[in-house]
């Protein structure tokens, strides 16, 4: 029996390998198809964070977006509604058009006027596409069956129909339009600051009817009932944004702390629940827009009469002692602070603003900057509510506002007394 020569076998093997090598490679696995609805929901989640929706529509210890958060105003207490997709107690029966009506027109599904504690005067600038994305996100949330708590508004403020007159005077619906004379970054920042961010809802002067009379008013204002002062974003006396570098502004918005300052009070909640979730590109755009507003409108002067020169000198002396005993170990003897740990008090616009209520509240109640990804373990300030009298608080705040180059007006024990009874939150 004849056997094939080894060479023939080798040739056959080579031919087989060559044949195999010429086969087409297997086709790649099919690419995952984009899911437009999932992308829309993800975009809506981002935009809802930019609008700080969850912070207002969630009570401490409650379920997200189920409402119930009290919002005290000079006209009564309003309670945020349940906006989960529950069909009976939330907005599950709302269409995208209904949601757009609330955002753009300030009207509920039944056509009734919404109170402007819901900042539709800002949200009207949001585009229909962004409104639809937020709606898609909210409709993707778990429904929560929880009835919205009725508002506690006395007459005549409980008459929603009377809002027609207020709206005629102070509300003009309309989407944001880019300014062709500005950059794309500036316009993006303006869209976020004026619209979803609703920054002037706090950082503006309101009239007796609670209205902001100018859309671009960022001249600062007292937040009623809470008794916090939202500083001017235009006056370098209060914020100095015109003197800040853009990365410094971005850092403060993103983490709540910077080399110059730290945020406390209501602004700490904004950073925690909203701003830290935004992209660096959007934060840079907001910073660029805010910086461009510097000195656009001067803050209105305060009319309060202050202490005499002799009283101020006495407060400076006693305040220096309080500062040495209670403050200097953290904020340092010359108020220089420890960067990103204990904010400086020297040359700090948050200390020298025209209204002294914020440093007064910090001395009384203490507080923490927000815990953020960029500052996960913030250092806090202890309260001196029980340790210091009104006179001592006024003295140390006056000392801080008038030392190390600071030149702010002195404060009084009466101003401290007004803040002592206000809750810390």
Q: Which two tokens stand for residue 325?
A: 């005993």
Q: What was the pLDDT predicted at 123?
A: 97
Q: Which residues pair with 223 in a beta bridge?
A: 228
Q: What was the pLDDT predicted at 34?
A: 73
Q: What was the pLDDT predicted at 182?
A: 96
Q: What was the pLDDT predicted at 224?
A: 64
Neighbours of 38 (CB within 10 A): 11
The sign of the torsion formed by the CA atoms of 244, 248, 250, 253 equals negative
Q: What was the pLDDT predicted at 147?
A: 95
Q: What angle do CA 307, 310, 311 make, to 5 degrees?
A: 40
Instruction: Name the fold adopted by 184-292.
Output: Cytochrome Bc1 Complex; Chain D, domain 2 (1.10.760)
What does R_g of the chain's alpha carbons equal in angstroms? 29
Instruction: Name the fold adopted by 310-420.
Output: Cytochrome Bc1 Complex; Chain D, domain 2 (1.10.760)
Gap between the Cα atoms of 195 and 128, Å rounded: 12
Pairing of strands 221-223, 228-230: antiparallel
The pLDDT tens digits of the residues spanning 322-331 come to 999 999 999 9
Neighbours of 321 (CB within 10 A): 13
Q: How far is CA 245 from the centre of its chain?
A: 20
Per-position pLDDT tens, the chain of length 425: 444 444 444 434 333 334 444 455 566 666 556 788 999 999 999 999 999 999 999 998 999 999 999 988 888 999 999 999 999 999 999 999 999 999 999 999 999 999 999 999 999 999 999 999 999 999 999 999 999 999 999 899 889 999 999 999 999 999 999 999 999 999 999 999 999 999 988 888 888 888 887 767 788 877 765 678 888 887 766 665 767 889 999 999 999 988 878 888 888 889 999 999 999 999 999 999 998 887 554 445 544 557 888 889 999 999 999 999 999 999 999 999 998 888 899 988 888 888 888 899 899 988 888 888 888 888 888 999 889 999 999 999 999 999 999 999 999 998 898 888 665 55
> Residue 407, exposed/middle/buried by CB under 10 A (0-12, 13-18, 19+)?
exposed
Task: Please report, for the chain, the start and end positions of each structural domain, with discontinuous segments joined by +.
Answer: 37-170, 184-292, 310-420
Domains 184-292 and 310-420 share a fold: yes
């Amino acid at each position: 029996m004849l056997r094939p020569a080894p060479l023939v076998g080798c040739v056959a093997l080579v031919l087989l390998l060559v044949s195999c090598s010429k086969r087409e490679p297997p086709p790649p696995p099919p690419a995952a198809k984009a899911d437009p609805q999932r992308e829309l929901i993800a975009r809506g989640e981002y935009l809802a964070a930019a609008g700080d929706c969850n912070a207002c529509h969630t009570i401490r210890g409650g379920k997200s977006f189920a409402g119930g958060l009290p919002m005290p105003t000079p006209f009564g207490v309003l309670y945020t509604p349940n906006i989960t997709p529950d069909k009976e107690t939330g907005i599950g029966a709302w269409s995208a058009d209904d949601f757009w009506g609330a955002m753009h027109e300030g009207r509920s599904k039944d056509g009734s006027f919404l109170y402007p504690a819901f900042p539709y005067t800002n949200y009207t600038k949001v585009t229909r596409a962004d409104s639809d994305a937020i709606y898609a996100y909210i409709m993707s949330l778990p429904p929560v069956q929880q009835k919205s708590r009725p508002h506690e508004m006395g007459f005549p403020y409980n008459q929603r129909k009377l809002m027609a007159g207020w709206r005629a005077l102070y509300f003009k619906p309309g989407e944001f339009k880019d300014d062709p004379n500005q950059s794309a970054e500036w316009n993006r920042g303006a869209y976020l600051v004026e619209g979803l961010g609703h920054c002037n809802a706090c950082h503006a002067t309101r009239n007796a009817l609670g209205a902001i009379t100018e859309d671009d008013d960022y001249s600062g204002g007292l937040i009623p009932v809470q008794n916090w002062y939202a500083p001017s974003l235009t006056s370098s006396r209060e914020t100095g944004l015109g003197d800040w570098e853009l990365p410094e502004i971005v850092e403060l918005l993103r983490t709540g702390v910077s080399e110059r300052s730290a945020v406390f009070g209501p602004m700490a909640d904004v950073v925690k629940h909203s701003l830290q979730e935004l992209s660096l590109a959007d934060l840079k755009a907001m910073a660029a827009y805010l910086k461009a507003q510097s000195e656009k409108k001067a803050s209105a002067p305060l009319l309060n009469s202050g202490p005499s020169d002799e009283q101020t000198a006495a407060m400076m002396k006693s305040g220096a002692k309080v500062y040495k005993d209670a403050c200097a170990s953290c904020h340092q003897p010359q108020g220089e602070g420890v960067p990103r740990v204990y904010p400086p008090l020297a040359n700090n616009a948050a200390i020298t603003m025209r209204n002294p209520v914020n440093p007064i509240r910090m001395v009384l109640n203490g507080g923490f900057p927000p815990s953020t990804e960029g500052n996960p373990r913030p250092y806090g300030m202890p309260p001196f509510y029980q340790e210091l009298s009104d006179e001592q608080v006024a003295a140390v705040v006056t000392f801080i506002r008038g030392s190390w180059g600071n030149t702010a007006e002195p404060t009084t024990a009466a101003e401290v007394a007004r803040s002592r009874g206000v809750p810390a939150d």
